[in-house]
Amino acid sequence: MSGLFRKSIRTRLTLLYVSLLTAALLLYGAGTSAFFLRNLREQVDETLSQDVETVETLLSVGPDGRVRVQAQDTDEDEGGRLLEVWSQDGSLLYRSPELWGRILGAAPDGHEGIQGARLADGTRVRIVNRMHRIGTRPVVVRLAVSEERLWQEFWEMVSVLSIGLPVAVALVGLTGYAVARRALRPLESMARRAEQITAERLSERLNIENPGDELGHLGRVINETLARLERSFEQLRRFTADASHELRTPLTAIRSVGEVALQRSGDVNYYRDIVGSMLEEVNRLTRLVDSLLTMSRADAGRIPLQRAEVPVLDLAKESAGLLEVLAEEKNQKLTVEGDPMVAVRGDRVILRQALVNLIDNAVKYSPSRGNIFVRVGSNDGDAVVEVQDSGPGIPPEHRSKVFERFYRLDKARSREDGGTGLGLSIAEWAVGAHGGRIELDCGTEPGCIFRIRLPKFTTEENTIPPEQSRKT
């Protein structure tokens, strides 16, 4: 059975309709044969009824009191008419010589009618029983005729049918196979083409002959999948290239600092300084690897969120409080304000990471004595946190890319600050994982607003009907 399912679709299709056709033809043949057989029998029976009437006229009682049948040169007698005449009390009065002593069954029980029977030697016969009077004497006339010819005709017909059936099935099977093959040919060519599309040739697409039909639909779906695959491969390629660049930078520093130090000679403090400088780069590498790991685990969906109700203003104040000293060092004013009632449901640690990264970014890019605003509010049922800096702004062509991994506006500067180039990507992931998004809003005036939108959490207090809350 399982072997059948492993065969090709066209073989399976052909097998399927060949077997359906066979079953239908068999049913049809059986029905026809049965009908034919019944017709033949009816004919025999009709002849038999006529014959028995003829025979009755020929019966007479001889002078010796025995029943005789007047000889009559009938042509139809070749098959031999089998005749018995019984008395009412069950004694045999006459038996035709053609019977050769065979009997047509037991003494009649007084019923008239036609029945089928088998003689002792196996010959099938049709028998008619009729009440009759010879003169005044009641007798039972029993006339039989062999069914041999009937069966012969029947089997002839059956054999004609059974020769025709396999021929018809074979014809339909072959035609069906050819049709299925033709119908599936575009599928085969699509498969061959898809086989040739590898990671290196993802830009290629399947040819679609008829976009409207089922195969065209399949082709479109495959092409869309290929497009998505191509995009993610492209992202991966860029990410790998960027990541190796980022990793190579500190590695190069470690290497050259070490090599130069070994060529020179210096005192203990010199070497301490060298080792320290190398360790700084190691720290940078470690941080980078940690961030990459976080991102890859986030991509794989392996960072479980521990959700709880988080008051947003609280979280914003906490995040800003952590970074306040950085702003103070640059004489910046970091202001947190907004609606204390706004809350979201989420993982506090992860959400805070997003906010810390955004605020850190704002501190970094705002000038000395600049202003940074963190505003909490709600809008269209969303909880909103805005982080507004007073930096130089982001040129329009860069705006869509700032959330990309390792994307930097000013490459040299942000690496100097110890950034990994992943801060905004991580923030975007953190907000996205909570079903929210970050919008970038840069107006004409300097500075940009990073706006976090998160689904607002409705506290139970708000959902309790007024009457109930009044009671408490």
Taking CB under 8 A as the rule, does residue 219 contact another protein?
no
Taking CB under 8 A as the rule, does residue 318 contact another protein?
no
Taking CB under 8 A as the rule, does residue 308 contact another protein?
no
| Tokens linked to 72 | 């009559």
Give 221 or 325: the residue with its C-beta nearer to another protein. Answer: 325
423 to 56, 99, 132, 325, 326: CA distances (angstroms): 119, 114, 118, 19, 16
CB of 420 to another protein, least distance (A): 6
Taking CB under 8 A as the rule, does residue 326 contact another protein?
yes
CB of 440 to another protein, least distance (A): 20
User: Judged by CB under 8 A, which of 214, 329, 337, 441 binds another protein?
Assistant: 329
User: Judged by CB under 8 A, which of 8, 32, 283, 379 binds another protein?
Assistant: 283
Question: Distance between CA 303 and CA 299 in Å, rounded?
Answer: 9
Q: Rg (Cα) of the chain, in Å, rounded?
A: 51
> Using CA atoms in the order 243, 247, 249, 254, what is the torsion angle rounded to 10 degrees?
180
Taking CB under 8 A as the rule, does residue 286 contact another protein?
yes
Q: Quote the crossing angle between the two packed helices 148-196 and 214-263, to the nearest 10°.
A: 30
Taking CB under 8 A as the rule, does residue 250 contact another protein?
no
CB of 394 to another protein, least distance (A): 20
Binding segment for another protein (CB under 8 A), chosen from 73-81, 225-233, 322-330, 461-469, is 322-330
Report which of 227, 185, 188, 220 is spatially closest to residue 206, judged by C-alpha positions. 220
CB of 298 to another protein, least distance (A): 12
What are the φ and ψ backbone dihedral angles of 68, each rounded to 5 degrees?
A: -125, 155
365 to 15, 280, 440: CA distances (angstroms): 73, 23, 15
Give 27 or 325: the residue with its C-beta nearer to another protein. Answer: 325
Look-up of token digits 């010959």: 123
* 333-338 vs 371-379, strand pairing mode: parallel
Report which of 114, 42, 119 is spatially closest to residue 80, judged by C-alpha positions. 119
Q: How far is CA 244 from the centre of its chain?
A: 40
Residue 459 DSSP code:
P
Taking CB under 8 A as the rule, does residue 282 contact another protein?
yes
Question: Distance between CA 71 and CA 51 in Å, rounded?
Answer: 14
Site string for another protein, 345-364 (x = CB under 8 A): ----x---x--xx--x----
Taking CB under 8 A as the rule, does residue 424 contact another protein?
no
Question: Distance between CA 443 and CA 393 in Å, rounded?
Answer: 8
Give 282 or 440: the residue with its C-beta nearer to another protein. Answer: 282
Taking CB under 8 A as the rule, does residue 389 contact another protein?
no
Give 21 or 322: the residue with its C-beta nearer to another protein. Answer: 322
Give 45 or 280: the residue with its C-beta nearer to another protein. Answer: 280
Taking CB under 8 A as the rule, does residue 276 contact another protein?
yes
User: Judged by CB under 8 A, which of 14, 129, 388, 420 binds another protein?
Assistant: 420
Question: Distance between CA 265 and CA 255 in Å, rounded?
Answer: 17
Taking CB under 8 A as the rule, does residue 279 contact another protein?
yes
Q: Is 118 left (phi over 0), alpha (psi -120 to 50) or beta?
A: beta
CB of 330 to another protein, least distance (A): 10
| Binding-site ranges for another protein (CB under 8 A) | 272-273, 275-280, 282-283, 286-287, 290, 293, 297, 302, 304, 322-323, 325-326, 328-329, 349, 353, 356-357, 360, 417-420, 423, 426
